[in-house]
């Protein structure tokens, strides 16, 4: 695999950093070279949050991303800010629960994902919307194997959170491209 540069962006409380972190862990478990760099505002919920993840078979020189191959936009301001950084031919994932307008770019692959709607309908829990989005990214971008997520969920969700693993697994496979 050549270098894959990913930006996941939204606001605090959407699980943006967790999406990036889980991609990073899955890539590590798969023997890849990985960087994960989170950025967030001081607010616990509602502030800005984004992260970059770089995945490669070869050593990665820097976690800084000026252009990305995959962009996950969980809200409008994130799409506005990071959209121009998506390389032609890249994959753009739009959270249609929050972003209602269509993207006016014909040089990228655009995937519209109703994260909360799908999570509520399929899983019965809207809070798993970030896992719906992660599943969409993994199924379309070929960054890491979705099967690696079992190991990542076991690592990330321990103690009382272990009870959430079945719902999150279901959410990972809930999205079907329309």
CB 128 within 8 A of CB 168: yes
Write down the H helix ranges in 7-148: 16-29, 76-82, 115-118, 129-141
User: Hey, what CATH topology would domain 4-172 get?
Assistant: Pyruvate-ferredoxin Oxidoreductase; domain 3 (3.40.920)
The pTM assigned to this predicted structure is 0.94
Domain-wise residue ranges, the chain: 4-172
Residue 63's nearest CA partner among 7, 134, 22, 143 is: 7
3-state secondary structure of 153: helix
How many residues belong to the chain? 178
Per-residue pLDDT for the chain (178 aa), expressed as one digit of tens each? 689 999 999 998 899 999 999 999 999 999 999 999 999 877 666 678 999 999 999 999 998 999 999 999 999 999 999 999 999 999 999 999 999 999 999 999 999 999 999 999 999 999 999 999 999 999 998 899 988 999 999 999 999 999 999 999 999 999 986 5
Sorted by sequence, the CB contacts under 8 Å of residue 154 that are 6+ apart come out as 165
Q: Which residue has the tokens 């999205």?
A: 175
């Amino acid at each position: 695999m050549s270098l894959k540069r990913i930006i996941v962006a939204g606001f605090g409380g959407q699980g943006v950093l967790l999406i990036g972190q889980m991609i990073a862990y899955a890539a590590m478990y798969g023997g890849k070279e990985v960087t994960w760099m989170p950025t967030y505002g001081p607010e616990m919920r509602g502030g800005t949050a984004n992260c970059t993840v770089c995945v490669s078979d070869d050593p990665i020189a820097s976690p800084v991303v000026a252009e990305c191959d995959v962009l996950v936009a969980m809200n409008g301001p994130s799409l506005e800010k990071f959209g121009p950084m998506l390389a032609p031919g890249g994959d753009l994932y739009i959270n249609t629960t929050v972003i209602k307008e269509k993207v006016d770019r014909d040089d990228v692959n655009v995937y519209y994902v109703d994260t909360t709607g799908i999570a509520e309908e399929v899983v019965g829990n809207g809070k798993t919307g970030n896992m719906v989005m992660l599943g969409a990214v993994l199924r379309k971008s070929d960054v890491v194997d979705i099967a690696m997520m079992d190991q990542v969920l076991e690592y990330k969700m321990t103690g009382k959170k272990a009870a959430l693993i079945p719902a999150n697994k279901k959410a990972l496979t809930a999205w079907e491209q329309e």
